[in-house]
Structure 1
Amino acid sequence: MTIKVAVIGASGRMGKEVVKMVLNDEALQLVAAVSPSQAGVDAGELVGMKATEVTVVASLEEAINRAQADVMVDFTVPDLAYEHAKRAIEAGIRPIMGTTGYTPEQIAELDQLCQEHRIGGLIAPNFSIGAILMMKFAQEAAKYMPHVEIIEYHGDQKLDAPSGTSIKTAELIAQTRQELRQGNPAEKETIEGARGGYYEGFRIHSVRLPGVFAQQEVIFGGNGQTLKIRHDSYDRAGYMPGVNHAVKKVMGYTGLVYGFEHIMD
């Protein structure tokens, strides 16, 4: 069965990679591409490939009305993510969301909607296989070395801080580590925020600089030793095997899955 795919944010850096991935896989069919700034352009030509029969449209609503997609892949911005996912589910389209910034309440609501419509969905802070392994290894290490901090690095145009990947990593660590308030109990920040964001007793630090792509380091400290688990991404194409796997896997699910690690098998 060919899976019909709609790509939201098709002219963005991640969106273009998704369009190329779909067009290069015979098991997938691109049926819609959304980009307000590139409406009217052929989706294939948009990504430097041969022309297709898919013309970029300006809105998700146009895509829903014009094409009967099975799956929607969305790499837009946090402010739009929830509404996009909700509208897709209501139309019977399985959302795969690479956009972060959801509240726990929104995730629960979207899961309920998926259940009601008997379709699957996925919210994944990161689609990189290496990044998922980094999270899993960090979760395991936290059982034995509970003193931990996370440092995540992204380009200076990233909109959210901390990153969705670091938050997901922190959530996984918290599942195997009891809350432990680290550092000297009498410590004081002489510059506000110097110790980073607080989560379950440990800290998350966000670096935003031009020239940086996406890296994350999880540092564990113990008596006389440290353990560092680090993942570095160098190209957006590295996320595409994960996105491809998610598009195919979500067809067999009912309900919303939060985290790519749950569908890796």
Structure 2
Amino acid sequence: MTDRVSIPVIVNGAAGKMGREVVKAVVGASDMTLFGAIDVKPDLAGLDVGEILGIGPVEVPIMNDLQSVLCAAAQESGSAVMVDFTHPKSVYDNVRAAIAYGVRPVVGTTGMSPEQVQDLAEFADKASIGCLLIPNFSIGMVLLQQAAIQASKYFDHVEIIELHHNQKADAPSGTAIQTAQMLAEMGKTYNPPLVSETEKLPGARGSLADEGIRIHSVRLPGLLAHQEVIFGAPGQIYTLRHDTSDRACYMPGVLLAIRQVISLKSMIFGLEKIL
């Protein structure tokens, strides 16, 4: 039983904004052990990750060689987990390497192509290794998406606005894309055109996702992570909004994912699938 043993956890991107929160959460969890802390910043290599985060020494140095840590975890444990909050350019290789070593990935990094996701799903399935791809670890966002699905039964017009800090590397956000996909799976086409639209500036109407759903991305300092799903009908507007004010809100979902991925044998996409 995974709740009776200590789960070894590798945090990839440990010195990043999300990685720091994950390290703190793992260190504070009674059923987990921080096995490794990976970050590409060369000036941090060898330093105690706890000292860097201001939580005191945890006797885990920051390393910049993911492969060596995965190898060590595979040799010591058959139930290690890698939590990845890195960059869209590196996440595919990170996840593929983890699966190859038998380390179960929990992935919060977004920006992979559908082809990359499909390849990783097939690789995880062949290896019988659990893998969780989760665009958003917030319970509140799961509730918003479920409410949007219910609303879609009664509204034919919907657009999505996602707002993030200006250091986010991919757009639209993985959460917005996932929300659009969930709405598209309802078996209807949204936003039937009433006029022939012309964009005076390319992209003014946002990205066009499946089934006619538009996604608009905003990037500004001062924002963290926010999403609106706006439904419209004659005489009324129905708005669902989720606002993140602290990254700590994601940690219950991250810890749940770490505990759940141990028992999986394939890839699962979305936090709602394990709640």
Q: TM-score range by the shorter chain?
A: over 0.9
**Partner residue, 2:32:** 28
Residues of 2 paired with 1:181 and 1:132: CA distance? 24
Cα distance in 2 between the residues matched to 1:91 and 1:65: 6
2:61 to 55, 62, 65: 55
CA distance in 1, matches of 2:207, 2:152: 18
TM normalised by structure 2 equals 0.93
Aligned length: 264
One-letter amino acid of the structure 1 residue matched with residue 266 of structure 2: G
- Asked whether the equivalents of residues 73 and 103 of structure 2 are also in contact (C-alpha less than 8 Å), the reply is no
RMSD over aligned Cα atoms: 1.3
Show the counterpart of 1:260. 271
Alpha-carbon distance in structure 1 between the residues aligned to 2:71 and 2:53 = 23
Q: Answer with 184-193 or 6-15: which moved more.
A: 184-193
Q: Which of 87, 99, 117 is equivalent to 1:77?
A: 87
**Structure 1 residues 21 and 4: CA distance shift in structure 2, 3 A:** same
Q: Does the Cα contact within 8 Å between 2:158 and 2:190 map onto a contact in 1?
A: no
- Partner of 2:185, secondary structure, is helix
Provide the residue aligned with 1:8 in structure 2.
12
Offset from partner CA, 1:105-142 (integer Å, 9 cap, x none): 22222122212222211011100000111111112211
- The alignment partner of 1:67 has SS state of helix
Which deviates more, 123-132 or 63-72? 63-72
Please state if 1:105 is matched with 2:115.
Answer: yes
- Aligned-partner residue type, residue 14 of structure 2: A
Structure 2: where are the runs of 5+ without partners? none
User: Are 2:189 and 2:212, in contact at CA under 8 Å, matched by a contact in 1?
Assistant: yes
Matches within 5 A, 1:142-161: 142-161=152-171
Alpha-carbon offset, residue 250 of structure 1: 0.7
Structure 1 residue ranges without an equivalent (≥5)? none
- Tell me how far apart the structure 2 counterparts of residues 130 and 86 of structure 1 sit (CA, whole Å): 30
Moved over 6 A (4+): none
Which digits, 9 at most, give the CA deviation of each residue in 1:203-234, with x for residues without a partner? 11101111111110000011211110100000
Greater CA drift, 35-44 or 83-92? 35-44
Secondary structure at the residue paired with 1:106? helix
Post-superposition offset of 1:36: 2.3
The answer to whether the aligner puts 1:229 opposite 2:240 as a matched pair is yes
Shift of the 177–229 alpha-carbon distance from structure 1 to 2, 3 Å rule, reads farther
Q: Quick check: 1:140–1:176 contact (8 Å CA) kept in 2?
A: no
Contact 1:149–1:203 (Cα < 8 Å) also in 2: yes
Q: What are the residue-to-residue correspondences of 1:137-216 with 2, within 5 Å? A: 137-199=147-209, 200-216=211-227
Tell me the amino acid that sits aligned with residue 83 of structure 1. Answer: D
**Secondary structure of 1:189's partner?**
coil
Moved more, 226-235 or 106-115: 106-115
